Amino acid sequence: MAKQNHKKNANKGTANGRSRSFSLAAPKAASVQLVGDFTQWQQKPNSMSKGADGVWSARVELPPGSHHYRFLVDGEWRDDPECARRVPNPYGGQNAVCEVN
pLDDT per position as a tens digit, 47-69: 999 999 999 999 999 999 999 99
CB burial string 63-88: b at 16+ within 10 A, e below = eeeebbbbbbbeeeebbbebbeeeee
Q: Give the domain ranges of the chain.
A: 12-100
What's the pLDDT at 16? 55
The CA distance from 52 to 72, in Å, is: 20
- The CATH class, in words, for 12-100 is mainly beta
User: Taking the model in full, what pTM does it have?
Assistant: 0.81
pLDDT at 61 (0 to 100)? 94
